[in-house]
Structure 1
Amino acid sequence: MMTMIFAVEEINRNPALLPGVTLGYHIMDSCDHIHTSLRALLSLLTHKSEKRHFPDDDRKSMRGNVTITKSTTDSGRCLTGSPITAVVGLASSSPTGAIAHILGPFSIPLVSYFATCACLTDKHTYPSFLRTVPSDLFQVRGLVELVKFFGWNWVGTVGTLDDYSRYGIQAFSNQFIQLGGCLAYHLTIPQSPTLGEIGAMADTLQSSNAKVVVVFASEVQLQELFSEFHLLLQGTLGFSFPGVYIPGLREFLLKVRPKAEPGFEFHNMLWEEVFDCRLETAFKFSAQENTTDSPERPVCTGSEDLSNLQSSYTELSKVRISYNVYKAVYAIAHALHDLLECGSVGATTAEAGCKTISFFFIMQLLSYLKRVNFTNQFGEKVHFEENGEPVPLYDIINRQKDSKGKIRFVKVGSYDGSVPMDQQLQLNQSKIVWTGGLSQVPVSLCSDPCPPGSRQARRPGEPQCCFDCLPCAEGEISNQTDSTECTKCPEYYWSDKRKVECVAGVDDFLSVYDTMGIILITLTLLGVVMTTVITTVFHHFRATPIVRANNSEISFLLLVSLKLCFLCSLPFIGKPSTWTCRLRQAAFGVSFVLCLSCLLVKTIVVLLAFRSTGPGSGAMKLFGPAQQRTLILCTTAPQVCLCAGWLSAAPPFPFRNPMYQASTGKIVVECRELWPAGFYLVLGYIGLLASLCLLLAYLGRKLPDTFNEAKLITFSMIIFCAVWLSFIPAHVSSPGKFTVAVEIFAILASSFGLLLCIFVPKCFIILVRPENNVKKRMNKSPR
C-alpha cells in the first residue's frame, strides 16, 4: 500500500511524466474476501464524484483522475471514495476474478500485482484485466520442471479452496502426471480448520513416504498447518518474483506515523503491531474500536522509531511484490500520458503539459494500457502481451537459516519462460541447503529406481510410480534406469550377464580344436589305421587258408567299407558348410549299407556252405562270386538312390540356430534338414539290413568253431544294433553340438565293433597261432 502511494507521489513530482496532471488515489481494504471486495468496489462505482485537492501541490486536478484501489490482507475499515478510472489489485485470485468480472463490461482497467490464477487469462470473461505478474501457467511449468530436475516423481500436494490453489494444483497435477509423475495425496486446507482437521492432515504428511510437498496457498493459510513442521520448512524451494531496490522507498516508509484521524487506520494498526503497544482510543475508528487491547501492553507514544525495527516492513534491500505494485502504477501513468498526448521534456512553457480536456472515455485508457511499452529506471521493459500478461520471469529462492538462526531467503536459480525450453530453468545447486542443513538432494520416490538389466512391474491398484523391479528375461536387455520394458535382442544376438547389452552370439559347433573334437578325430584315425593294418595283413597272407576260406574278395570289400565308415565321421567335425552338410549323411548312409551288404553276403555264404552237403555243392554254385557281387550291388543301390533323391530335392544346409541361446548364449551352427524324414529313412534302411544280418548270423551260430564266421558276425551285429538303438533317444535329447557328437560316437562305436569282432580273431590266428592257419585245421569237423 505504501509503495503504491510512494509511486503516485513520485510520478506527481516527475515533470517528464504527466506534466500538468496530478494523480490521486483511493485505498480500500478487500479483507481478502469476495463479498468485502465487491462491496468496496460498488461503493466506489456509485459514489458521487468530488473534486479532490492535494496538499503541497498546485498542479491542476482533473476530472477523470486515476483513482487506484489497493487490496491488502489487513482487516481495517473499508473506506469509500470517488469514482474510479483504473484499479490496482487485488492480491488474491478469487476476489480479483469477482472484481474483474464486474469491471469488464465497463472497460475499467484492473491491473493486479499478485493474482496469478491462470483462469484470469480468459479475455472473454475478463476483458479489462491485466497484471504485472506472470500467470500460474508459467509457475506450474516451472514447478514441474523443478520437480523433474531433481528426480522427484512421488509428491504430495497441499492447497486451499480458492481459485489460485484449485487451478494451480489441477494444472500441476496434469502436467506432472503426463511426464510420468504421481501424486501420493492431496490435502485441502479448510477456510477455518479445526484442530482435528489440522492433526489429520499433519498425520498424512508424516506417514507418507513422499518427501516432497508442492503447495499452492498463501503463507497465512498455511500457518496453522505448518506450525508443527517449522523445522521442515527450512530448506524449501519456492518461486518468487524478481526483486529490486527502489531508491527512496525505505526513507518514505520510515516517515509513517500514527494519526487520530480518518484515513490512517492502516498506519495505526501497523504501529500497534510492530511495537507491541496500544494506541489511545482517539486513534480508533468504527470497526477498530473493539480490537483486542490488552491492558498489560504499554501505551504507544507515537514517537517510536521505525528505523530500529528488524521486520519485513523495514527489510527493503529488495522488494518483490511491492515492485509489481510499483510497475502497475507506472504502467497506468504511462498509458494516461500517451492518451493525453503529453509534451516531452524540454518543450517551452506554453507547449509543456498535457492537452486540456475535461474528460476521457475509460475504454480509451484501457486501449492505451494494453499497448503501453516503456523501460523503467531499473532497466526492465514493461509491457503487456496480447493476453495482458507480462513476460514470465521468476527467481528460485531457498529458505535457509543463517549463523544467527534467522531465516533468510537465498536466490539459487531462475526460471525464464520466454527463452527456449532447455534454457528456462537455471539452478546453482551448490547454494541450496536442504532440510536439516543437508547438501544432498532428498529422494522422493514411491519405489526405488529399477537398475539397468531390469524392468518395472506395476503393482495392481497402485499409481504407475509404484512398482517392483523384475530382471529381464534371457535374450532381453534394458540399458536405462527405470525401463518399463525390456528390449529383445536381435536375432543371433544375446544379452550379457547383467542384461544391459546385446552381444553377438558365438557360433558353437564341434570344432577340431575342442577336446571332444580332438578325441573323436583321434579315434577316427585310429580306426582307419587299424583297418589299414588289418587290410595289409590280409593282403600279405591272402594265400593262407583262413583268408581264402572266408571269401577274401568280400573280406577286402568289407575292410574298404569299414574304412569308409570311419572316414565318414570326419565331415561331422568342424563348422558346417554346404558341402559337408550334403556329404555327411549321404556318406554315412552309403558306407554303412555297403558294409552291411558285405556282411549279409558273408553270412549267406557261411550258411550255404555248411547247410549243403559239401563245399562243391549246387547251392554254392548258385551263389557264386557273380551272384554275391550282384547282391551287394542290389542292396546298396536303394540307399544310393534314396540319398541322391534326398540331396537333390531337399538337401540339408548350414543353419545358425538361436534356439539354444536361452541356456548357453551361443548360436549352434548345424545342418538343418528340410526333409527330416530322409535321415530316418536312411537310418531305417541301415537298421533293416542290420536286423537281417543278425537274424541270419544267429541261425549259423552253431557251425564249426574253427571255420564259423557267423558267430563273429552275430556278436558284431548285436553291438551294432545296441549302439544304434541307443543312438536314437540320445540323438533327440542331446543339445547343440552334442547331437553331432552322439552320431559320430555311434558311427565309431559300430565301426569298431564290426572291425574288432570280425577281423581281430582272424588276425590273431594269422599272426599268433599260425599253426591253426592250415587247410587241415580249416576242414576239421565239429566235435
Structure 2
Amino acid sequence: MAQLYSTLLTFCLLLSIGVHSQPQSKDKCTYQGDEDTLSFYQEGDVVLGGLFPMHFSPVSSDLSFRTKPKPKTYKFFTPRALRWMQTMIFAVNEINQRKDLLSNLSLGYHIKDSGDDIPISIKRSLLLVNGQPERGREGQDCQDTQKQPSPVIVGEASSGISMAVLRTLGSFKIPVVSYFASCSCLSNKREFPAFMRTMPSDAFQIKALVKLFHYFQWTWVGVTGVDTDYARFAIQHFLKESEKFYICPAYVLLYPVALTQHAVEEFVNILKASSATVILNFSVESYLHGILKECRRQNVTHLQWIASEAWATSKDLWEDFGDLLQGTLGFAIRRAEITHLGSYLRRLSVPVAQTSHFLSEFWEETFHCRIKGSLNTHVHREDAQNWPPCNSSESLDDVYTTYSDVSQLRVSYNVYKAVYLIAHALHIMSTCIPGKGPFQNGTCGSLNPILPWQLLYYMKRTHFTTLGEEVRFDDNGDPIASYDLMNWQRGSDGSLQLVKLGFYDASLEEDKDLIIDEPIIMWHRGEKAPESLCSKSCLPGSRKARQKGKPICCFDCIPCADGEISNQTDSIDCLTCSKETWPNQAQDQCIPKTLEFLSFQEPLGIVLWSVSALGAFTTLAVLGVFIKYRKTPVIRGNNMELSLLLLLFLSACFLISLTFIGKPTDWLCRIRYPAFGISFALCISCILAKTVVVLMAFRATLPGSDVMKWFGPAQQRSSVILCTCVQSLICIIWLTTKPPFASHNTKFMSATLIVECSVGSEVGFWCVLGYIGFFAFLCFLLAFLARKLPDNFNEAKFITFSMLIFFAVWITFIPVYVSTRGKYTVAVHVFAILASAFGLLLCIFAPKCYIVLLKPEKNDKRSMMKK
C-alpha cells in the first residue's frame, strides 16, 4: 500500500509540476501545493537534504475540498528529533570548519519535518531533491528564488517511511542515508539500490535478541509490535531465527498506530491471560503510551519488557510508566561522545528560537510560555493560549529535556556519521585526478552539478574513522553491527538510569559475540531472572514429548526407558547405554553393569556347594561302608566291583557340580561341560553294566547256557570304558571345533552383566546330554524288563526307580534351563546334577546300606536265598 501510495503521489506531483505548472513566461515559475517554509536551510556548494520526524500523530481535518485544505497539523512534538536535526547542522558546520576535509567545497543543508507520515515525507523529499521557491507566490523568477536541490538525503527515521521515500527517489538513483531505519528488508539492493544507513540492520538485532532469550532460557515469550513495516519484518525475522534455539511465541500481536480503546483492551487482555512473563516489543516510544496505560489500569504489572533498539534508551516513557518498565532490557545502538554538541544545543535562547518555527515550538513547549512574534503554528495544548510571554530569562540549564540530554548519543551519533559519510565521499570525489577516475575513460565525478548516482558510487566504497570508530559498510550498505545491552534501573532520586550490562558485536566469533554482566542486572521483580516457559525443563533422566497441537516449547517430560539415559536438560531423545553399561538410578549417566554369576559367597551358591559337598561326603561314606562290608552277602551279591566304581564316579559327579559355581573363565568352562558329561557317562555305563549282568545272570541259570562267560569282570570293565570313550570322543570333537568359553551376556536389558559359560557349539552340548539320556533310557528299559525276576540279588527294581528319577530330573531340566537366565540357569544345571546323583545314590545304595547297617541279621546267605 505504501509503495502504491508513493508512486501515485510522485506521479501527481511530477504531473502538477510538469503539466499544470506551465510558466507564464520563460523565466517564471508557478509553485503548486501548500507553502512549505518549515525547514532549516543553509546555502553551500553541496546542500544535504534531511528528513526528521519532528511531529507525529496527525490531526484529522475536513477534506470536503469546498474550501482550501489546511496544512496538516499534529498532536505531538518530539524534542529528541529536534536534537537529531541540530546534530546534522552541527556536523555540517564542523566539517565546513575543517581544513583537512572538503577544503575546496562547502556544505549546506536543507532539513524538513517528515511528520512521521508517508504522504508528507514523500512530498518533502521531492521538494528537497527538486528545490523549492522561497515563497509560494506565483510568477517568481525560477533561478533567483529557488532553494538549491539536494543530491542526497539524510533520513528517514522510520523504516516504513524510508521504504516509501526510496520507492519514489530510487528510480532517480538519489541516495538516501538513514540514521534510524533498521528493517532488514531495506538491505534488498534489488529493490532499494540507492539506500545506505548508519543504523545496523535488524537482522543483527534479531540475532542479539534471540541469543539474549536463549541465555536466560526464556522459551515462551510474547512478541508484539506496532503495525508498521519495521515491526512486521522484525517479528517475521525473529520468529524464523528463534526456531534455531527452540524459542516459541506465546502470542504474536500487532496493534494499529491509531489505537482505539477496544483494541488496546483486547490487546492487554491477551497479555494478562498468557503464561508468558517476558514480552518483546518492536515499536517506538510514542506508540507505547496507550498500551502501558491500559496495562496499569488492568494491573498487568508482572511483565518483564524487552525493548527493541527503537525505544531501548528512550527516557520519555519513564516519567509515566517507570513502575512498569523498571528492569527493562534492550539492545541499543552504539553510543558516542560528540565534543561540543552539548554546549551547541544549550546555546538556544529566545532570540535564536524566534528565527525558526521548530525552535519556537520547542521553546514554548518546554517553558510553557509564548514567544513574542512566535512562528509556532502547532499548538498542542488547550491551555497554550493562557501561557505567559517568555521573558528571555529561561535557560535550558535549568530544566531537563531530551533535546539537550547528550548522555545517550546514539541516534544522534548515527546522524553525525551519516553526514561524515557523505562528506568523505565528496572529499574523495573532489580530489579525483582526471584520467584516473572510476568512471568511463577514467573520468572523475561531476562536482557542478553533483550527479547523485556518481556520489552514490563513492559513498558505497567509503570507509573512514570518526570519534575513534572505524566506520565500514558491507555490500548491502549496512554498517557492521554493534549494540550495547541496556538495563532500565531506578536511581536514588527516582530517575531513569540506563546501565550498560554488556554488548553484542556481530564481528566477533559466534560463541563470543554476546557478553553479559549478569550480577548487575536489576530485574523487574525479584533478584533473579524471571522464568518464561510453557513447560518446565525436563531434568536429566527424562526426555521431552511434545504436546499435541501445541508449539515445540510445550511438552511433557517422559522418563527414559530401561537401558536409556539423558545427560542434558531438555533432551529430545534418550541415549541407549552400551551393552556393558547400564543407567544409574537417576538415569543421567551410564555406569558399568554389575557382574552377575553364581558365587560361592551368595546364599544360593552356599546352599548348592554345601549340598554338593554333602553328596560327595555321603557317597564316599557309602563307599567306605561297601569296602568295610565287602565280604558280606549283600555287598558281594550285587556286583561289588561295579558298585564301588559307581560310588566313586558318583562322588566325582557331586564334586564336578562345584565347577559350575564361581566366576566363569575360559578354562573353567572347557573343564566344566566335558567333566560333567564324562562323569555321568561313567555312572550310567556302570549302571548299564550292572543291569545287563542281572539279566544275563538269570539266563545263565538255564541248562546249557554259557552266556556269563561273555559278562565276566573283564568284560564289564571293558564295557564301561568303551561307553565312556564314546562320550569322551564327543567331548574332544566339541573342544577342538567350537569349545565352550566365558562370555558376557548382554542380550538381557538389565543392570547386571551376566558372566556365563557359553557352550560354544550347541550341537556338542546337546550331543553330550543326548548320549547320557540314551544310555539312561537303555538302562531303564533293561531294568524294567528285569524288575520281576526273582531272587534278592535282583537290583532291577532299584535301577528302574533311579532311572525314573533321572529322567524326571533331566526332562524337567530342559524347559527350566531354557527359560531361566543368568546365575539361575547355572543353578538349575547344578540342581539337576545333584538331584540326579542323589537319585542314583539313594535308589541303588540306600536299601543295601539299610540292611548292612541297620538289619545285619538279614545280611547272610540264607536271607539272600529267600524269595
Q: TM-score range by the shorter chain?
A: 0.7 to 0.9
Q: CA deviation at 1:703?
A: 6.5
Equivalent residues in 2 for 1:348-427 (5 A)? 359-376=449-466, 378-427=467-516
The answer as to 2:808 corresponding to 1:719 is no
For 1:222 and 1:615, the matched residues in 2 are separated by: 129
Match of 2:287 in 1: 221
Q: Give the match for residue 431 of structure 1.
A: 520
Please tell me whether residue 330 in structure 1 is matched to residue 396 in structure 2: no
Give distance in 2, aligned partners of 1:360 and 1:720.
116
Change (3 A) 1:723 1:479: same
Aligned to 2:241: 175
1:110 to 176, 201, 205: 176
| Greater alpha carbon shift after TM alignment, 610-619 vs 310-319 | 610-619
Whether the 8 Å CA contact 1:91–1:113 is kept in 2: the answer is yes
- The Cα of 1:358 is off from its aligned counterpart by 5.8
Deviation at 1:634, TM superposition (A): 6.6
Give the structure 2 partner of residue 553 of structure 1. 641
Query: Match of 2:623?
Result: 535
> How far apart, CA to CA, are the structure 2 residues paired with 1:414 and 1:549?
107
Q: Give matches, 1:659-738, under 5 Å.
A: 659-660=747-748, 662-663=749-750, 665-676=751-762, 678-694=764-780, 697=783, 707-738=793-824
> Using the alignment, how far apart are the partners of 1:250 and 1:767 within structure 2?
126
Comparing 450-459 with 241-250, greater Cα deviation is found at: 241-250
Matches within 5 A, 1:9-48: 9-14=93-98, 17-19=101-103, 22-47=106-131
Match of 1:498 in 2: 586
Report which stretch shifted further, 168-177 or 311-320. 311-320
Residue of structure 2 aligned with 1:584, choices 666, 669, 672: 672
- Equivalent residue in structure 1 for 2:259, among 188, 193, 200: 193
Q: Unaligned regions of 5+ residues in structure 2, if any?
A: 1-84, 136-141, 296-300, 302-320, 433-444
- Once the two structures are TM-superposed, the CA of residue 26 in structure 1 deviates from its matched residue by 1.9
Distance 1:357-1:755 versus aligned 2 partners, 3 A rule: closer
Q: Quick one: structure 1 residues 420 and 731, their matched pair in 2 at CA, closer, same or farther if it must change by over 3 Å? A: closer
* Residue 211 in structure 1 maps to residue 280 in structure 2: no
Cα distance, 1:398 vs structure 2: 0.7
Structure 1 stretch displaced more, 448-457 or 727-736: 727-736
Distance 1:261 1:516 in 2: 104
Cα distance in 2 for residues equivalent to 1:115 and 1:356: 29
Deviation per CA, 1:193-227: give whole Å up to 9, x if none.
32222122212222222222222221112222233
Q: Deviations for 1:231-288, whole angstroms, at most 9, x for unmatched residues?
A: 4422111111232333433333334346799962222322332234566786444xx3
Task: Look up the equivalent residue of 1:269 and give its one-letter code.
Answer: E
Q: Is the 8 A contact 2:156 2:178 kept in 1?
A: yes
Q: How far has the Cα of 1:642 moved from its partner?
A: 4.7
Deviation of 1:549 after TM superposition, in Å, equals 1.0
In structure 2, the partner of 1:456 is 544
Q: CA contact under 8 A between 2:484 and 2:503: conserved in structure 1? A: yes
Q: Given the alignment, which residue of 80, 85, 94 partners 2:160?
A: 94
**For 1:576 and 1:654, how far apart are their aligned partners in 2?**
6
Provide the rounded CA distance (Å) in 1 between the counterparts of 2:742 and 2:549: 51
* CA shift for structure 1 position 721: 3.3
Amino acid at match of 1:581: C
Residue in 2 that maps onto 1:654: 742
How far is 1:492 from its partner?
A: 2.0
- 1:778–1:89: structure 2 CA closer, same or farther, 3 Å change rule? same
- Displacement of 1:744: 1.0
Letter in 1 for 2:859: N
* Contact map agreement 1:510 1:575 (CA 8 A) in 2: yes
Go from structure 1 to structure 2 and tell me whether the alpha carbon gap of 1:367 and 1:659 turns closer, same or farther (over 3 Å shift): closer
Determine which of 393, 396, 406 is the counterpart of 1:316. 406
Q: Any idea what the Cα deviations from partners look like across 1:352-407, whole Å, max 9, x if unmatched?
A: xxx9986444444434434444433x323345444333332221111112223323
Matches for 1:119-138 after TM superposition, within 5 Å? 119-138=185-204
C-alpha distance in 2 between matches for 1:757 and 1:603: 14
The verdict on how the C-alpha distance between 1:520 and 1:261 changes in structure 2, with shifts beyond 3 A counting, is closer
Given that 2:370 and 2:390 are in contact with CA atoms closer than 8 Å, whether structure 1 keeps it comes out as no
Counterpart Cα distance in 2 of 1:180 and 1:656: 42
Counterpart Cα distance in 2 of 1:634 and 1:441: 87
CA contact (8 A) 1:509 1:736 kept: yes
Out of 461, 471, 475, which is 2:559 matched to?
A: 471
Kept in 1: contact 2:358–2:376 (CA 8 A): no
- Distance in structure 2 (CA, Å) of the matches to 1:694 and 1:338: 117
Alpha-carbon contact 2:354-2:373 (below 8 Å) kept: no
Instruction: Identify which range, 688-697 or 105-114, moves more after superposition.
Output: 688-697
Tell me by how many angstroms 1:564 deviates. Answer: 3.0
CA shift in 2, pair 1:274/1:332, >3 Å: same
RMSD after superposition = 3.6
| 2-structure distance, mates of 1:712, 1:147 | 87
Distance 1:724 1:189 in 2: 84
Structure 2 CA distance for partners of 1:610 and 1:357, relative to 1, 3 Å? closer
SS across alignment from 1:397: strand
1:555 deviation in Å? 1.4
Amino acid paired to 1:757: C
Which secondary structure does the structure 2 equivalent of 1:439 belong to? coil
Aligned to 1:254: 346
Q: Post-superposition shift, 1:454?
A: 1.7
Q: One-letter code of the match for 2:422? A: I
The whole-number CA distance in structure 2 between the counterparts of 1:726 and 1:356 is: 109
**CA 1:689–1:10 in 2, change beyond 3 Å: closer, same or farther?**
closer
1:617 to partner: Cα distance: 7.1
CA contact (8 A) 2:372 2:390 kept: no
Asked if structure 2 preserves the Cα contact closer than 8 Å seen for 1:257 and 1:302, the reply is no
Corresponding position of 1:347: none
Deviations, residues 408-465 of structure 1 (Å, cap 9, x unaligned): 32111122222333332222112211112x3312222222222122222222222222
Which residue of the partner structure matches residue 652 of structure 2?
A: 564
Deviations 1:742-774 (A, max 9, x none): 111121122122223322442344345444332
Match of 2:8 in 1: none
Aligned identity (percent) is: 46
- The one-letter code sitting in structure 2 at the alignment partner of 1:172 is F
1:142 aligns to 2:208 (yes or no)? yes
> CA 1:256 to 1:147, structure 2 compared with 1: closer, same or farther past 3 Å?
same
Instruction: State the distance in 1 between where 2:732 and 2:448 align.
Output: 117
Asked if residue 522 in structure 1 is aligned to residue 610 in structure 2, the reply is: yes
Between the aligned partners of 1:699 and 1:243, the Cα distance in structure 2 is 113
Please say which of residues 699-708 and 40-49 is displaced more in the overlay: 699-708
Provide the TM-score with structure 2 as the length reference: 0.77
Letter of the 1:750 counterpart: S
Runs of at least 5 residues in structure 1 that lack an aligned partner in the other structure: 52-62, 65-79, 343-354
Match of 1:777 in 2: 863
Cα distance change, pair 380–623 in 1 and its aligned pair in 2 (3 A): closer
* TM-score between both structures, scaled by the size of structure 1: 0.85
Residue type of the alignment partner of 1:413? G
Deviation at 1:738, TM superposition (A): 1.2
Residues in 2 aligned to 1:591 and 1:217: alpha-carbon distance in whole angstroms: 93
Which stretch shifts more, 538-547 or 624-633?
Answer: 624-633
Q: Distance in 1 between matches of 2:447 and 2:838?
A: 127
Higher mean displacement: 125-134 or 684-693: 684-693
Contact 2:630 2:636 in 1 (8 A): yes
Deviation readout 1:578-621 (Å, 9 max, x if unpaired): 44434433333333233233334434544565688689976756
